[in-house]
Amino acid sequence: MRKSKAPASRREEIQKIYQCCALGKTTLPACALLRFLHKEQMEIRTNEETAESLIDRYEIEETARESRCMTFEGFFRYMESKDCCVFNQAHTSVYQNMDQPLTSYFISSSHNTYLTGDQLVGKSHLDAYVCALRKGCRCLEIDCWDGPDMEPVVYHGYTLTTKILFKDVVTTVEQHAFEVSAYPVILSLENHCSQEQQEVMAQYLISILGDKLLRTPLDHPTTGDFPSPNDLKYKILIKNKKLRPQIKTDDTTGLEESEDEEEDEEDEDQQTKAKFWSPRKAGSKKKKKKVVVAEALSNLVVYTTSVKFISFSYSKDNQNSYENTSMAEKKARKLVKVSGPDFVKHNQKFLTRIYPAGSRTSSSNYNPQEFWNIGSQLVALNFQSLGLAMDLNDGRFQDNGGCGYVLKPAVLMSSQRSFDPSSSQHVKPKHLLLKVISGSNLPVPRSGKGLDPFVRVEIHGIASDTRRKSTHTVKNNSLSPHWDSDMNFNISVPELCLIRFCVRDQTGLLSSDFVGQYMLPFSSLKKGYRWVPLRSRDGCSLDPASLFVFVWYS
């Protein structure tokens, strides 16, 4: 139960609801509470036993409890509890099928995980890995370069970002990998090291990670070629290029290297950096030294082999299930535009990692929703950069117990029907009504001036579903603003949608400041009278700040 004390107006709103349910009586019997749960809260599976358990949990007056009734105080406690949160509390635990292949899940993924600031002069820090893992991140990036004394280092190459030791990164991952989730961690290596230092990397991965490191294919994965999150519990996978056996010639066999999937994008990335740091002209082409993967490191790559993306048809005919591709946002966006349904089909079979453009030197993020819409699993973001993109990521991965793996909706996995995110194909859209009733204990600006709050509700999904609506502004009231504002939305693909409640302070005719927000998947939205917990820009709870809303959809 929330410990916060709601302002008088919130109590008045709940008092009205209580009086309607109690039909003039001083207490609410279990049968009337059950009627409220069915009719207003749309919790149709509840029975009298449920109602009585709520009385036991929230009613503190003994005589009422004994007579299986609820006083207003008990009802108020219930209405302010987690049981009445807008986020379905059943989704705070892992509830989805975790026996599908890894390709069937959205996987919380980080880009340049080591950075705490921008891409040019920002600090690299081990804490960045700890923070990402504690947020449920399951795919971490490690940029590896040759360091002095045969010690590989991690930093953003050709920039002034600070350096940390590769062995320290691996130690940090080993310590924190499974703190919040038992499901597999993928270490995505951007490998620029010489073969000698790659040998050192391999030794560290083996000696530090021990049994957690997946070194050989599983004997009997649940799902055939590609294992599931359940198969890979408490395992760390290495994503890197891999050597493959060469065709036998003249009675000799050798090993040939798989092509680098990020070579083109890395060239763009290095040219961006050259504009800032290189004495040579940014446009000048210098042949990049090709990194040859060392056999010891290659041997540690099992299910996540990096290969270059050529085309969807080439992948269909030539790519193995355990091979994955990476591409920068611009290339991915172009492919979405030209052949969205093919991209969806591709992502049914293969892992795809999308990462921010090299030109995002300030560590800004793209909108991840556009790539979830085509089923890309590893939509990598700069976790250190606050704002809408990370709010979306937090909202998406709050689902399924915050374990970092969320099952992709059936619309993205159907083999019978192709899905095009650029057109709304669902004949019968869902109708969503959101009534934003009031706010409570909103944080005031540091300046101490009064708050003029309004609420903006945003729907994030396929392009035709993406929209936003706002309440009117309430003048100078942070304690208990009252809007009573109805908002109606028609949503064609609700299973891909995220809903964002954003409270803003009207500072001018066309200007406003962020106050607090909350993001959740449509599939986790509870019907009925609900409270919305607000979060700060960095995702921390602003309790007791909240909104009071009514939700209905059909």
Q: Which residues, including other chains, have CB under 8 Å from residue 71's CB and lie 6 or more apart?
A: 26, 27, 28, 59, 61, 64
Measured CA to CA, the distance from residue 476 to residue 462 in angstroms comes to 37
Give all strands of the β-sheet with 541-553 in edge-to-edge order.
467-470, 453-460, 498-506, 512-521, 528-535, 541-553, 430-440, 482-491
- CB neighbours (10 Å) of residue 536? 15
CB atoms within 10 A of CB 447: 6
* Single-letter amino acid, residue 103: T
DSSP 53-106: HHHHHH---HHHHHTTEE-HHHHHHHHTSGGGBSB-GGGGS--S---S-GGGEE
- How far the first Cα of the chain sits from its last, in Å, is 29
111: annotated active-site residue: yes
Closest CA to 336 of 296, 366, 307, 295: 366
- Among left, alpha and beta (phi > 0; psi -120 to 50; other), residue 266 is alpha
Please give the distance of CA 221 from its chain centroid, rounded to a whole number: 26
Select which of 38, 91, 111, 482 is catalytic. Answer: 111
- Look at residues 221, 257, 255, 250 and name the one whose alpha carbon lies nearest to residue 237: 221
Q: How far apart are CA 46 and CA 29, in angstroms?
A: 15
Note the pLDDT of residue 24.
82
Within 372-422, strands assigned E span 378-381, 405-407
Question: Which has the closest alpha carbon to 215: 197, 232, 193, 196?
Answer: 232
Q: Facing residues of 488 across strands?
A: 433
State residue 220's pLDDT score: 79
CA atoms within 13 A on the CB side of 5: 1
Q: Which residues contact 93 (CB under 8 A, 6 or more apart)?
A: 401
Mean pLDDT by 10 residues, the chain (554 residues): 63 91 90 95 92 95 93 94 96 97 97 95 96 97 98 96 97 98 98 97 98 94 86 98 71 50 52 52 52 94 96 96 96 96 96 96 96 98 96 98 97 90 77 97 87 97 96 96 97 96 95 96 97 94 96 96
Catalytic residue flag (residue 431) = no
Note the Cα 283 to chain centre separation in Å. 36
The pLDDT value recorded for residue 247 is 54
**pTM (predicted TM-score):** 0.93
Task: Specify the pLDDT at position 49.
Answer: 92
Predicted local distance difference test score (pLDDT) of residue 152: 98
Q: What is the pLDDT of residue 11?
A: 84
pLDDT of residue 283: 46
DSSP assignment letter at 522: G
pLDDT recorded at residue 284: 44
Distance CA 524, CA 527 (A): 10
Which residue in 91, 156, 192, 460 is the catalytic one? 156
Amino acid occupying residue 184: P
Distance CA 212, CA 206 (A): 9
Residue 242's alpha-carbon distances to 74, 136, 297, 320, in angstroms, are 62, 27, 8, 13
If residue 348 lies in a helix (H) or strand (E), which one and from where to where? helix 329-349
DSSP-assigned letters across all residues of 214-282: --S--SS-TTTTS--TTTTTT-EEEEB--EEEPPPBTTB--EEEPPPTTHHHHHHHHHHHHHHH-SS-T
Is the Cβ–Cβ distance between 236 and 175 less than 8 Å? no
The DSSP 8-state label assigned to residue 545 in this structure reads E
